[in-house]
Amino acid sequence: MRVVIAEDNALLREGLVLLLTSAGHQVAAVAGSGPEILPALREHRPDIAVLDVRMPPDFRDEGLRAALAARSELPDLPLLVLSQYVEHAYATELLGGGAAGIGYLLKDRVGRVGEFLDALERVAAGGTALDPEVVSQLLTRRKNSPLDSLTPREREVLELMAAGHDNTTIAATLVVTERAVSKHIGNVFQKLGLPPTDSGHRRVLAVLAYLENA
């Protein structure tokens, strides 16, 4: 797939280029500052963009603002956003409105090559990929909510489901049967008042919508 990378750290940027090209992907362009991002996306129309949240010149939210502008102008463009820390406001804004083809990973996840490439391909295919730490912090931010009624196992299933994993992957991760996973998911949807669905992507969006408004 063709990728545009926006990252100001030269070492990480070159590392991403090497990682992606070694995996058989084509890096169409790289951007080192916020103002460079949107023109690069317009020109190259990549299959996915990998964007840092904080970019020059102000190192605040240039990458995020470029991502949101890109989603408005190029609504079908998948975006994988990288951040040094879990920034709740940024995550909520990016994930708002039932977005598809969206990922939010902590930069540490890039070092786990298999996980990063899996997330990249999942987002490029229109799915979602949330860093487990992002999901965990979103889950724990809300107090006195139906989330408190979940069992520890149901919470584990919810975190994996919100991260974009399918039943097979969840079962393998938790070393349980897919039937058990389906049962836990049913309990989660019932306790959170969410409509059940067989679509993996729709159920992730339902969970994200809940997390935003819980």
How would DSSP label each residue in 6-72?
E-S-HHHHHHHHHHHHHTT-EEEEEESSHHHHHHHHHHH--SEEEEESS-TTTTSSHHHHHHHHHHH
**Tokens in use for 115?**
């996980």
* CATH tag for 2-131 (out of 3.40.30.10, 3.40.50.2300, 3.40.50.1820, 3.40.50.10810): 3.40.50.2300
| 0.85 exceeded by pTM | no
Q: Is residue 127 pLDDT above 70, yes or no?
A: yes
168-186 residue pLDDT tens: 999 999 999 999 999 998 8
Most confident option among 73-77, 130-134, 199-203: 73-77
Residue of 101, 105, 112 lying closest to 71 (CA atoms):
101
Backbone angles phi, psi at 210, to 5 degrees: -65, -45
- Domain 142-213: give its CATH code: 1.10.10.10
Asked whether the domain spanning 142-213 has the same topology as the one spanning 2-131, the reply is: no
- Predicted confidence band of residue 165 (pLDDT cuts 50, 70, 90): confident
Q: Considering the chain, what is the average pLDDT of its residues? A: 83
What percentage of the chain has pLDDT greater than the value 70? 80
pLDDT at 166: 84
Please list, in sequence order, all residues whose beta carbon lies within 8 angstroms of the beta carbon of residue 180, skipping any fewer than 6 positions away.
171
Coil, helix or strand at residue 125: coil
198-211 residue pLDDT tens: 566 566 666 665 66
**Ranges of each domain in the chain:** 2-131, 142-213
Higher pLDDT, 198 or 155: 155
